[in-house]
Amino acid sequence: MSDNKSSVVILGKGTSLKEAVITNFLEKDLDSLTNRKINAITVYETKELEFICTPDFETSHSEIKALFSDKQFYDMHLVVVERGLSPEDTWALIEELSKTTGVETENLFVVLPRQHQQVPESHYPFKFYTFDQLQSKLSELEKKSTASSSLPTVEGSKGRHPDTKVNLVLLGMTGTGKSACGNTIIGKKVFESKISSIPVTKECQKEEAQINFLNVRVIDTPDMFDDEMEKSAKGKHVKKCNELCESDPCVFVLVMHVSRFTDGERDILKKLEKMFGENVSKQTVILFTRGNDLWQAEISFRDFLHDCQDKLKEIVAKCDNRCVLFENSKSDPDQVDKLMNQVDLVLKNKKLSQSQ
């Protein structure tokens, strides 16, 4: 909502529980904070944070929907639940909130009452914070805001300068859908994408578009993980990618087929490190294609990630769980927004590590 501050949205039922989240953390009375009202939403501000207290979910669906409809990104989404609500009912609420807001269920965190301490992560089907975890996450967010407000430019989704550029380098094996993803991101058919037993994309290709005020340069690549490709050819493509990225920040988008994890992909991060350096996973977002395969099998993205092969889990964990799901046969802009959200995280982390 406002520049430079980190935003925490608090969802769920009842006002007092939401307010308690804020007062417990700040150890201050709400009356001492600046606040503003947008219809039934109240925003409480500190120097570094803003807490967006939403009205009752059950009675204010449309207002909550509107809060998320203008492509705003928030830094944390908390859900308060009434005492005694069963885990099943809480999970149902999370799923409903996810549907209404478009926020993935894994980004909605239930605030557990103070007496729940040291609950193992697998205890509930939903993500949650214990009281202590929430305090430390909010402190982290506060520190992040302080650090990023002292930076000369902010590359997050808020306060972006229209000149900000980012390179998205699409990498992955043949047929995973790199070129199709490039077309989805750019919003038109600029990369050749088709079924073929031989690789269709043979050279790196660069295309540009403006997405949410960010100038995005998408670089489509041939399959550089192909063991049959000569070393010199690989070297040539890596050099070309680096040249096309120019001096702007670069985020690698590792494209994988959601229902096919091949032997060649087991050590894909190692191969990537050899090409672009050992810190490459810090700059990588994993993009799974063919989301329809999951929806048809009625498997949620969260369950897919939870139940996938250990080797794939390792890859995901190494990229700090930055994953998105695309269905390239749909022109749904939400999937691009979700990708850009993850890209923002990489850029923010990069800025932070540079500023330390």
Which residues make up the interface to Mg ion (CB under 5 A)? 178-179, 201
CB of 33 to ligand GDP, least distance (A): 45
Quote the tokens at residue 239.
């050099």
**Is 290 within 8 Å of 259 (Cβ atoms)?**
yes
Q: What is the footprint of ligand GDP within residues 182-201 (CB under 6 A)?
A: 193-195, 200-201
Residue nearest to ligand GDP (CB): 177
CB of 243 to ligand GDP, least distance (A): 20
Instruction: Rank residues 55 and 175 by Cβ distance to ligand GDP and give the closer one.
Output: 175
Is 229 a binding residue for ligand GDP by CB under 6 A? The answer is no
Size of the site for ligand GDP (CB under 6 A): 20
Taking CB under 6 A as the rule, which mask of x and - marks residues 257-296 in contact with ligand GDP?
--------------------------------xx-x----
Q: In the sheet that 214-220 helps form, which strands lie side by side, from edge to edge?
A: 205-211, 214-220, 165-171, 250-257, 284-289, 323-325
Q: In the sheet that 41-45 helps form, which strands lie side by side, from edge to edge?
A: 34-38, 41-45, 49-53, 6-12, 76-80, 108-111, 127-129
Instruction: Rank residues 7 and 335 by Cβ distance to ligand GDP and give the closer one.
Output: 335
Is 180 a binding residue for ligand GDP by CB under 6 A? The answer is yes
* Strand 214-220 relative to strand 205-211, pairing: antiparallel
Instruction: Rank residues 124 and 261 by Cβ distance to ligand GDP and give the closer one.
Output: 261
CB of 177 to Mg ion, least distance (A): 8
Q: Tell me which stretch binds ligand GDP (CB under 6 A): 11-19, 23-31, 170-178, 206-214.
A: 170-178
Q: What is the footprint of ligand GDP within residues 3-62 (CB under 6 A)?
A: none
* Strand 214-220 relative to strand 165-171, pairing: parallel
Which of 161, 181, 151, 184 is CA-nearest to residue 169? Answer: 181
Q: Say how many C-beta atoms besides its own lie within 10 A of residue 255's C-beta.
A: 25
Is 237 a binding residue for ligand GDP by CB under 6 A? The answer is no
Instruction: Rank residues 80 and 190 by Cβ distance to Mg ion and give the closer one.
Output: 190
**Is 19 within 8 Å of 53 (Cβ atoms)?**
yes
Based on the number of CB atoms within 10 Å of its own CB, is 139 exposed (0-12), middle (13-18) or buried (19 or more)?
exposed
Which does residue 180 bind out of ligand GDP, Mg ion, none, counting CB within 5 to 8 angstroms by kind? ligand GDP
Single residue of 105, 328, 335, 342 touching ligand GDP by CB under 6 A: 328
What lies within 8 Å, CB to CB, of 71 at 6+ separation is 212, 337
- Coil/strand/helix, residue 7: strand
- Coil/strand/helix, residue 230: coil
Is 335 a binding residue for ligand GDP by CB under 6 A? The answer is no
Using CB under 6 A, list all residues that contact ligand GDP.
172, 174-180, 193-195, 200-201, 289-290, 292, 326-329
